[in-house]
Structure 1
């Protein structure tokens, strides 16, 4: 299957526009506060853990500060975390050596562009990672790839189909792609949803993925219910709004199979 046309890697992601690459410590602190308040911050990891056998190979695509990947590694899986934001990966690397951390833009994985394994010793400005051979950590097949935290919704406009094609190519036969993202402004750090579920499912189908199941929350509530499943109290901060977990049609957790 031919890869879809890709938007130039110089296109700014929606995440960059929100944070300018300076959100790592702040993002980690927010989840630390939620955990200290007794909120379960491992719903995504628990959800993924239940889908695969022990010691599965898992990629956390858009891993941020590593919360999901680290927990999955603690549960016995072999994990790789990929993110384009050096400030986020700096925190992730400090937190765990059990995960292979890769600095790369998800839109560039298919072109073997921009991966640096743990190359985060010196602070650097937020821009596209320099061109380099793709890290061996992202080679080979994965039993599951998870994109939590609105990763797909925060990609650079126009790159969504190419990103999903690249991720699908890295799935093992019958491997799973799990993605959770908001479908309206109340569940996104954006003024409006950049696309709908029909668009997402279409991109997945074009990449050879079939919808296996869909939920309204990471706790497994059916998508068609009107119940809610919030992660925690949120405020006016756009990053906080991005952490909300709500019911359909505000939020969806989709499981697609290769």
Structure 2
């Protein structure tokens, strides 16, 4: 079982691939999306959940989603077609860092996909290249709620992988971005995300007792659960920022 297959199964019950509740997602989209006709881009869109939800009640939206997971893009296209909005969203199976479009975008999203660009600030630089004047960015990334201890670092993190929340925002502001809104994921949102992640994978394994990958699925769920509960729970945070841009001189 490939890593992407594991991730796809793990997000069955929590299709937003980040520690955000449905209510938080709605609030962020309501704050971020301009009224009337607008064009959106999601860099690292996965199965397209953010763009599909953005379309609800907004017939004037047109959107593009980009991800290098061809299976996720196929699933996104199928979901959009099933919802009857396939003509309003175009999905592209390619590296988000290499995506180019003839259009500018009023809003660029990139939630939990900074690894594709090499970090938060490079993600914002990539997003900016797609914005129309006055456009905004909705970006979600990790930060340290508290200094990571050895148990957290043993989960595969490095101490300099993230900053604390204040430093994270300061670094963004120093690059000319203006915070317009923000949401810090709660511990409850984190717990719901992690229980859903590990539980979905475990449920699949129990429901497929004869599948050759069931043991691998159970092991992946157990490893992830241990890393969360014994390692980064309460230490790794997640912030989603809506950002405007200071005009460049």
Interval containing the TM-score (normalised by the shorter chain) = 0.5 to 0.7
Choose which of 140, 151, 159 in structure 2 pairs with 1:180: 140
Q: Measure, in 1, the Cα distance between the counterparts of 2:135 and 2:67.
A: 21
Alpha-carbon distance in structure 2 between the residues aligned to 1:60 and 1:46: 17
1:50-199 correspondence runs (5 A) = 50-51=31-32, 52-76=34-58, 77-96=61-80, 97=86, 98-109=88-99, 134=100, 138-148=101-111, 150-152=112-114, 154-155=115-116, 158=118, 160-184=120-144, 191=157, 194-196=161-163, 198=167
Partner of 1:128: none
Q: TM-score, normalised by structure 2?
A: 0.60
- Rounded Cα–Cα distance in structure 2 between residues aligned with 1:45 and 1:31: 15
Q: 2-side partners of 1:61 and 1:183: how far apart?
A: 20
Is the 1:25–1:87 contact (alpha carbons within 8 Å) kept by the matching residues of 2?
Answer: no
**Gapped regions of structure 1 (runs ≥ 5):** 1-18, 33-38, 110-133, 218-226
- Larger strand percent: 2
**Number of equivalenced pairs:** 190
Partners of 2:36 and 2:21 in 1: CA distance: 22
SS at match of 1:65: coil
1:254 is matched with which residue: 233, 241, 248? 241
Higher RCO, 1 or 2 (CA under 8 Å, sep at least 6)?
2
How far did 1:94 drift? 1.3
1:168-225 superposed Cα distances (whole Å, 9 cap, x missing partner): 0211222111112232488xx964572225357536754x5333333314xxxxxxxx
Higher helix share: 2
- Structure 1 residues 233 and 171, CA, compared in 2 at 3 Å: closer, same or farther? closer
With normalisation by structure 1, the TM-score equals 0.59
Change in CA separation of 1:22 and 1:228 when aligned onto 2, cut-off 3 Å: closer
RMSD (Å), alpha carbons: 3.7
1: distance between equivalents of 2:234 and 2:241?
A: 13
Provide the C-alpha distance between the structure 1 equivalents of 2:40 and 2:98, rounded to a whole number of angstroms.
19
Cα distance between partner residues in 2 of 1:87 and 1:42: 27
* Equivalent pair of 2:14/2:193 in contact (CA under 8 Å): no
Q: Take 1:253 and 1:159, find their aligned partners in 2: how far apart are those partners?
A: 14
Structure 2: where are the runs of 5+ without partners? Answer: 81-85, 199-220
Can you list the C-alpha shifts for 1:119-155, whole angstroms capped at 9, x where unaligned? xxxxxxxxxxxxxxx4xxx33221111222x222x33
